[in-house]
Structure 1
């Protein structure tokens, strides 16, 4: 634990004797006494249950008791250990990160983990009507993946499968591969102890993918083995995704066509002819397709490389070389024959779409963008797009905020939003941060009241309806 209890357990709270007395005879004085005792250290299970009872009956308290709860609200929040708070989240299975100015750090996977029968494989479909497949119970929270004050000096979360040394005991489903997690681990494993807010900002803007760089190296090696000609910019690619780069443009089409070359034949054999492409695209949009790609490249003997539609047994080099030519053809048809103009920014753009984006005449007015930007599907600067038959890398998700905080100087924190603070399209704050955000810049996050008042540019007044002037 980050902190340890210094208090004696309190007696169990009895159930309320009747609905008219939901707090079981608790007075404001008794409530205040218990809350004061709770704030002297980490909350025990007894006190935590009592506080849960407080929440449950909050709407039934009188004014005197509510005043006490308001008075000690912050103390109650401090009393909960961060781990205990994470334990209260039963679903969904989110990651909870912790850090404080004392130097304590922690990471917990929340939600309840079910105890499965030995014969159940959660990675495949099972018969939900068979009670023998039902969960047998729930593991205790102490069995959840977690890491507190590790020797390596950092914790991280990037929708990745936790590493074995993160106390993982049970397999789970993770929507992304370990591409971003690999980048984070590499950066923070460097011998550096003078991290600054500027360094934190640079990490968030990193558009390099070490996994995609390795994938590209494998693709080039297979193409060489087949005697195919490969562009020099692909051989030199560092995994970066600058707007003016051409290597990532070709890489993604090459990746898509390689996956298609390895897998499409199985869909053609299994699905009706009129729905083969639809079935393949539906599968390819899942996490399975791209997550298995590095493993496919690492196994030249995988049976997936063979095209089952032919009598010949195709190998990895043959499929990869054909995919390279197919990817080139895609880009020639879309961007022209001049490979030097295959700029990544021509295909990789983001538009922040309003809920009424499809409304005639006003849709484009309400949207913010498009912006070409240096980012990747799974770099630290992550802007997600789907690899598909259509040749575009239109973004459908990205960071909701960027922020850099030095706990030693919180007032100097900097952050930025993708568009603006207001949802009112006529407000000057609707999209006033958009240009800064997509240029990789930040703005001071003013948290100090005196600082805010010294830099205010306007003042908003709120008046109750019917109030007198």
Structure 2
């Protein structure tokens, strides 16, 4: 008994010591939200009020001090995120994660992002406000590195902290630009469809019908294995940082609002991760104010507002990346053919440092069109040299000036001038102001190719006939300012004509755009509450029509009672993705079976890539309409030519059989919440176990689905389980009749520090469609209980 008592005493002591150690470790890693700090390079004292969700409200007497402060607090909440994102374009992930990410480093290291950054930085105006304030921001980050608390992730992975430079900032611009691009996923696939299956297969995939387009109008037989696109897609999936995907935005003019002032809404769609993509902050000086949403290592917000105007963005989805087939000199593989004779390839050498492994060095061969992809991606079997021509690295980069300009504009005219400098990625930039103006600008360096040339398959690099003929002036880009319909919107949908024809791109299907227009056309007295409900909407404007068009070809007389019940549920579906709905579960499995039966025999390993592309989304309703199609025939059944009716009926029966095996015989129990979920994964939490429980947020049930306004993006595959991997990275609503009470929400929380109370304090609200206030009123801001004073260091 005595031994037992002593053992219990020892156990209690150990528990107390462990708890004390955990408590001490936790408080030493929490961000500092209150108190005083002495900071170098400040001219005057800066006061930072942290609100209830951890957003810093920075009050300074000049902008340089404000941006030093922003860099410091941004780093204390998001230094780990900064570290990850700066390493991607530089090819430095293997240093911390090991050889598994070597192929990612080799790919990004070869794209020319760093070389483009060096060229841009060498030509920057060192006296410009954007340069001076960027250096102040970097100074704040680097002071935190010197004096602040090291994030847990650095300790776990043994990372030495390094100071940040402008080059790191430009590497982030480069990564962001590449993740917006779509051509690298589809151009190689389409080229192989054309070359291995024939032009008729390609034409059906690329055909467009106007009845399936909501156009953003301006006012003013061999198996396919697309090795490049499959490899790049796998690389993007391996990244520990979120890729940029899509977005919604709409701005309502005073004539359509109850209070007679502009209402602005925006929810950019980005891959989900933890921490959340955006860092909220509010800067106020005597001559400047902005409430912004910043990406890691970007001093100027890409989303923002103040009492005078609001702005945001969606992905334009224009084609700013092309592939060229080069032709080597048969007598000298170091040269390639041009219209002016053979030209020498340029060579770049890169070294990758790999954790616990020897360094590896590789060489990039570069033509005038760009890097040769055969050397950058493993398993590229095409014997022809394939060069990637990317507008981002080909033209001067002014993104620092752009981001400064849009956040510091004094008028709509200033704002338009700033967005006109965007070259890549292409963006739909949305605008609304207190003076009753609304605007949409498609902002990119649009270009012209010769007539009839498609940029969606490989171009001829040797002939000289497939080169860009010229870039269009910004005045010709589709845009709208105060249009008669009294609203502007964007959902990554097809933009209006350029020089008499629709401009080519990788636009999303009309689903979200159509739904936005439907809802905006319903009334002329919108309130902020109406827009809150609209931005959380989960009704598709197209899927009920698509599913009913498929059901027309299902022979009901041959169905079992369970199959008939499922048929009835799907037939009556209005397209709403609620947790308790059964129809979405049936529809998505039916859709998968239909796509597999139609395309998988020809596409082979590239099938999963195709069915999760915007190309498939665009082609789907058109394909269902076709009575005759080269895709209907199953190439594996040589003695039989399949008909559309047979394919669709069999797909439906297979879908119901799958769901019975997955979810049981009770059709009414096949609710959407049983197959869809969302988890916000941290790069370290992906390891699973205790690390998953500590770092990840979720999993949760969710409402929504692919291509509804509350876009919960998942990959359709054979599993029948839909893990949401992307969606609204923030939801923002600014009502200029009550701008002090504007609203926002992010998926998890403001802080990236796992022990901060703001690590995941917005998660439940986000999932429920709730919002928190974006305070810019002085009285509200100064109610904050946590106040951090930054004092200048005395000489």
TM-score by structure 2 length?
Answer: 0.47
Matches within 5 A, 1:310-321: 310-321=638-649
Paired residue for 1:323?
A: 651
Q: 2:756 & 2:547 partners in 1: Cα distance?
A: 45
Tell me the CA shift for residue 96 of structure 1. Answer: 0.7
Tell me the CA shift for residue 325 of structure 1. Answer: 1.4
Tell me the CA shift for residue 312 of structure 1. Answer: 3.3
Tell me the CA shift for residue 101 of structure 1. Answer: 2.2
Question: Of residues 288, 299, 307 in structure 1, which corresponds to 2:634?
Answer: 307
8 Å Cα contact 2:539-2:574 kept in structure 1: yes
Paired residue for 2:425?
A: 92
Paired residue for 1:187?
A: 519
8 Å Cα contact 1:208-1:376 kept in structure 2: no
Q: 1:341 & 1:171 partners in 2: Cα distance?
A: 46
Paired residue for 2:592?
A: 256
Matched, 1:244 2:580: yes
Q: 2:685 & 2:481 partners in 1: Cα distance?
A: 45
Q: 1:365 & 1:253 partners in 2: Cα distance?
A: 33
Q: Deviations over 1:288-320 (max 9, x none)?
A: 223211111122333322334243332222111
Paired residue for 1:50?
A: none
Tell me the CA shift for residue 239 of structure 1. Answer: 0.2
Q: Deviations over 1:329-366 (max 9, x none)?
A: 22223222222221111111110111211235222221
Q: 2:675 & 2:493 partners in 1: Cα distance?
A: 27
Tell me the CA shift for residue 163 of structure 1. Answer: 4.4
Tell me the CA shift for residue 77 of structure 1. Answer: 2.9
Between 1:228-237 and 1:361-370, the stretch displaced more is: 228-237
Question: Of residues 602, 621, 625 in structure 2, which corresponds to 1:266?
Answer: 602
Question: Of residues 608, 612, 625 in structure 2, which corresponds to 1:281?
Answer: 608
The verdict on how the C-alpha distance between 1:167 and 1:145 changes in structure 2, with shifts beyond 3 A counting, is farther
Matched, 1:219 2:555: no
What SS does structure 1 have at the residue aligned with 2:524?
Answer: coil
What SS does structure 1 have at the residue aligned with 2:430?
Answer: strand
What SS does structure 1 have at the residue aligned with 2:716?
Answer: coil
What SS does structure 2 have at the residue aligned with 1:361?
Answer: helix
8 Å Cα contact 2:409-2:415 kept in structure 1: no
Question: Of residues 78, 84, 91 in structure 1, which corresponds to 2:410?
Answer: 78
Paired residue for 1:148?
A: 481
What SS does structure 2 have at the residue aligned with 1:415?
Answer: strand
8 Å Cα contact 1:226-1:317 kept in structure 2: no
Paired residue for 2:504?
A: 172
Q: Indicate the structure whose relative CO is greater, using CA pairs within 8 Å and at least 6 residues apart.
A: 2
8 Å Cα contact 1:376-1:382 kept in structure 2: yes
Tell me the CA shift for residue 380 of structure 1. Answer: 0.3
The verdict on how the C-alpha distance between 1:183 and 1:429 changes in structure 2, with shifts beyond 3 A counting, is same
Tell me the CA shift for residue 105 of structure 1. Answer: 1.2
Q: 1:73 & 1:117 partners in 2: Cα distance?
A: 47
Between 1:383-392 and 1:355-364, the stretch displaced more is: 355-364
Question: Of residues 436, 444, 447 in structure 1, which corresponds to 2:776?
Answer: 447
What SS does structure 2 have at the residue aligned with 1:288?
Answer: helix
- CA RMSD in angstroms comes to 2.8
Q: 1:227 & 1:150 partners in 2: Cα distance?
A: 53
8 Å Cα contact 1:145-1:167 kept in structure 2: no
Tell me the CA shift for residue 167 of structure 1. Answer: 8.6
Matches within 5 A, 1:5-404: 56-58=125-127, 77-78=409-410, 80-163=413-496, 169-190=501-522, 192-224=523-555, 228=559, 229-230=563-564, 231=566, 232-267=568-603, 276=604, 278-308=605-635, 309-359=637-687, 361-404=690-733
What SS does structure 2 have at the residue aligned with 1:324?
Answer: helix
Q: 2:670 & 2:788 partners in 1: Cα distance?
A: 48
TM-score by structure 1 length?
Answer: 0.78
8 Å Cα contact 1:147-1:167 kept in structure 2: no
Tell me the CA shift for residue 102 of structure 1. Answer: 2.4
The verdict on how the C-alpha distance between 1:72 and 1:452 changes in structure 2, with shifts beyond 3 A counting, is closer
8 Å Cα contact 2:441-2:479 kept in structure 1: yes
What SS does structure 1 have at the residue aligned with 2:788?
Answer: coil
Q: 1:251 & 1:283 partners in 2: Cα distance?
A: 18
Tell me the CA shift for residue 59 of structure 1. Answer: 6.3
8 Å Cα contact 1:145-1:169 kept in structure 2: no
Matched, 1:427 2:759: no
8 Å Cα contact 1:162-1:168 kept in structure 2: no
Paired residue for 2:787?
A: 459
User: How many pairs does the alignment contain?
Assistant: 395
Q: 1:285 & 1:450 partners in 2: Cα distance?
A: 48
More strand by share: 2
